[in-house]
A and B are shown apart, each in its own frame.
Chain A
Amino acid sequence: MLLEVQGLCVNYGHIEAIRDITFGVEEGTVATLIGANGAGKTTTLKTISGLRKVRAGQILFDGKDITQLPPYERVLMGLSQSPEGRGVFPGMTVRENLDMGAFVRKDVKTAAYQQDLDRVYDLFPRLKERQGQAAGSMSGGEQQMLAIGRALMAKPRLVLLDEPSMGLAPKLIQQIFSIISEINAQGTTVLLVEQNAAQALKRAHTAHILETGEIVRSGTGHELAGDDAVKAAYLGGDV
């Protein structure tokens, strides 16, 4: 297991945001957490990346306990997150955002760095076209791509993606998900949080359903996609 979450509880004041969550992500796979708004998906991701304090439970990354580590040390270990929505630096250009993603790297002037930059530009040709443009002036979809590309610039072993399809046109959703599969095929483990259950389950090796802060179902993506209860609750009229 690359990532193991054991009995995780997180509170906002007195309110329990997530309760006793346990799951793991195998190296080289795509795992997904799906659920409705407010189910605790984003909180789970933020806790894994270190932005939220843990009340109880443990997070292990590559076998090491990272529960108390500050976020920047987790990035150094190879854990990188693309935040939800407009999580880019709006005043910086696209290129500056990507460079910021590589903040922890020491090889910024080398060919290896250029190669990673080219890889991001290959995944998202749009970003190359808009290198010099202010990130804040791009469309929601482009900002989403930039946030993912920026997370990849840290050369992570595990990338956490928070609702990459949020607010996108249907055609673009397809594209973003196939890019996620491609990122995984290139060797990066992915933990994906999504409301778009149909797409997420199709791409994921393992999937977990969150409801009001608890995991209520787990299985392979294929299993859950075929499950009648899941279909009724999450796949209703979805594409």
Chain B
Amino acid sequence: MMAGMGSISARWDRVVDRYNAQPKIVKILWVTLLLVIAYAMPLLRPPIITTNSIDFGTVMFRVIAFALVALGLNIVIGYAGLLDLGYVGFYAVGAYTTAVLTVEHGSWPFFLALPLAIVVTMISGVILGAPTLRVRGDYLAIVTLGFGEIIRISVNNIEWVGAAAGIKNIPHPTGIGAKPEPPFKQGGLFEIPRLEWNGLVPSFDTEHKSAFLAFGSRDAVPYYWLILTVLILVLIGDRLVKASRVGRAWEATREDEDAAELMGVPTFKYKLMAFALGASIGGLSGSFYASSQAGYINPQSFPLLLSMLFVAAVIVGGSGNRWGAIAGGALVAYLPERFRDFADYRLLVFGLALTVLAVWRPEGLLPPRQTRRAKAAEAEIDALEEGDLEETPNV
């Protein structure tokens, strides 16, 4: 177990170290290259990675949307150590706020509704967190679990938000350039063809082009570009917050709440902050989900299972590491789509894959260095208790 844990983490560390050792210009080149590949991914459609039975652009949009959710939940679970099992509730609040403002009870453009959706979700996070964050551990998990269900059942019964029928015709985000005119013109400033692979030989597929930048119902790629951009922005924000005083306060609170209080950390305030921040990112993703290709949401879009998948994404990726959360989110969204060839068995295969991961790497794919340190320390203490005293120098 320990050997398996070392290899990927160690390799990741080595990659990070080597990257950090590069001169600035090389770093910029690497980042640019990675960004170009990331943005071009749904057009490159590399063999093996691409999905055949479902549009790869749609899958990639879902992958990034999940990564974004995982990144938000990672703040709550990974940084502040609060187990939130009802994260889908915030996702739903964001989606419904957007739908209500843009079509159901108003006609706001998407980009105006988005910030309000974020604010509303953040407020809902504070409302849920203020009374519940005073309890510790399992109670919080139970209360949040209830919250997710309350939201779903409420919208299912409130006529004002469409009840069981949901809300349709949610407008797409405003693009750049000409508007799409289905079924012939995609609009946008220009169109980019995608690649088609014949074995390992690529060629341009001129029949399927993606418009820069118009959001229609035919092509998922522009949505992918938009949400990838949002993910990158959130990632930068996450990095800034984590490196600040706030990040250190979260870390201390997670490791030992009493000790953190004794250091002068107002732990409740910081936990509430993590909760509200995480919630707002959940709302942000929900908002994008509502206005995506289909432009349709209903209560069934937000089942309890989705909360579990979000938590699984964070844990599988390595709770507390932003890259781990992204990897976990991407994996949880991608694998079921990739396994579509297994038809009815795809969820079974997906479940097996998660189980194998949990056994093989209980700390997740890319655990943060604190988790690894704590693990190593635990192993050392176990060794001491078993009597291998000579291994560790004692005072």
Chain A residues packing against B (C-beta within 8 Å):
49-51, 70-72, 75-76, 80-81, 83, 87-93, 96, 99-101, 103-104, 126, 134, 136-137, 139, 141-142, 150-151, 154, 169, 172
Contacts and interface: CB of A to CB of B under 8 A. Distances in A.
A139 B392 contact: yes
The 4 closest A-B pairs by CB, nearest first: A91-B370, A136-B377, A75-B264, A134-B373
A72 B255 contact: no
Most buried by A among B263, B377, B392: B263
B263 A101 contact: yes
Nearest to B373: A134
Contacts of B159: none
Contacts of B380: 137
Given A91-B371, A134-B377, A172 B263 contact: no
B163 interface: no
B257 to A, nearest CB: 10
Given A134-B374, A134-B377, A136-B378, A89 B264 contact: no
B128 to A, nearest CB: 22
Most buried by B among A92, A169, A172: A92
Nearest to A49: B262
B309 to A, nearest CB: 27
15 contacts: A51-B258, A70-B261, A71-B261, A90-B373, A90-B377, A91-B371, A91-B374, A92-B252, A92-B370, A100-B248, A103-B249, A103-B263, A126-B395, A137-B376, A137-B380
B395 A89 contact: no
B244 interface: no
A169 B265 CA distance: 33
A139 B394 contact: yes
A92 B320 CA distance: 13
A81 B392 CA distance: 29
A72 B376 contact: no
A75 to B, nearest CB: 3
A88 B378 CA distance: 14
Interface residues of B, number: 29
Contact of B256 (A75, A81, A89, A139): A89
B259 interface: yes
B251 interface: yes
A169 B262 CA distance: 27
A134 B376 contact: yes
B161 to A, nearest CB: 39
A6 B187 CA distance: 78
Contact of B374 (A90, A96, A103, A104): A90
Q: Which residue, of A80, A81, A89, A134, has the highest number of chain B Cβ atoms within 10 A?
A: A89
Given A91-B371, A92-B255, A134-B376, A71 B262 contact: yes
A233 B235 CA distance: 61
A156 to B, nearest CB: 10
Most buried by B among A72, A80, A83: A72
Among B245, B251, B259, max chain A CB count under 10 A is at: B259
Contact of A154 (B263, B374, B377): B263
Contacts of A50: 261
A162 to B, nearest CB: 10
B329 to A, nearest CB: 23
Interface string B148-176: 00000000000000000000000000000
Given A134-B376, A139-B395, A72 B259 contact: no
Contacts of B202: none
B373 A137 contact: yes
A80 B264 CA distance: 9
B265 A88 contact: no
A83 B395 contact: no
Contacts of B106: none
